[in-house]
Amino acid sequence: MFATIEGNAIGQLCYVPDAGHGELIRRAHESEKIDAYPLTTEEEGVAAACGAWLGGQRCVLLMQSSGVGNCVNMLSLVSSCRFPLVVLVTMRGEWAEFNPWQVPMGRATPQAFEMMGVSVRRVDDPTRAADAVQAAIDDAFASDQAVAVLLSQRMLGRKKWTR
């Protein structure tokens, strides 16, 4: 997936720290082509992506499904102003979830995005992830639309509580 992001002139990658995105985050920080930076909340990432676009850059936002609910109000900015938005979401609350607090937002994630006019794509097969990200980038930046790619918990692997 990283090669797809880097190969599409993405200048910024913002994220709320998440182990599921760990490899993308690490590689973005190592890249000389991408400014990668952490956020304190997911809705900041929506604003950052809009600001990047206004400043002439493309941005990809990374978050976990538990943070999608934090973005609902901010997504009205994307919809009203027709900003392109690409969000890669690591899913929680699905397959083999150990934390019951993750389940409600995991179930609600697709509907929360759809309610705010965001196109939702789901990836369950790692061999299709790069293609799904490419399609999301194409759709978002060619048509000024918002696209969320949901990366299934089964694809990412079982999360375990560690100390």
Domains for the chain: give ranges and CATH numbers: 2-156 (3.40.50.970)
For residue 101, the model assigns a pLDDT of 85
- Angle CA 91–64–12, to nearest 5: 125
Average pLDDT, the chain: 93
Q: In what order do the strands lie in the sheet with 35-38?
A: 35-38, 10-15, 58-64, 85-90, 146-151, 119-123
Q: Sign of the CA dihedral 3, 29, 67, 69?
A: negative
C-alpha distance across the termini of the chain, in Å = 29
163: pLDDT strictly greater than 90: no
159: pLDDT strictly greater than 80: no
In the structure encoding, which two tokens stand for residue 110, read together?
């697709």
* Entry pTM: 0.93
Cα gap 83→29, rounded to integer Å? 25
For residue 92, the model assigns a pLDDT of 82
Percent share of the chain, pLDDT over 90: 80
For residue 51, the model assigns a pLDDT of 98
For residue 162, the model assigns a pLDDT of 66
Instruction: Quickly state the pLDDT bin for 155 (edges 50, 70, 90).
Output: confident
At 138, phi and psi to the nearest 5? -60, -50
Q: What is the mean pLDDT of residues 123-140?
A: 97
14-41: pLDDT as tens digits:
999 998 999 999 999 999 999 999 999 9
80: pLDDT strictly greater than 70: yes
How distant, in Å, are the alpha carbons of 6, 65, 79, 96, 135 from that of 16?
Answer: 19, 11, 22, 22, 23
Q: What is the DSSP string of 64-77?
A: EGGGGGGGTTTHHH
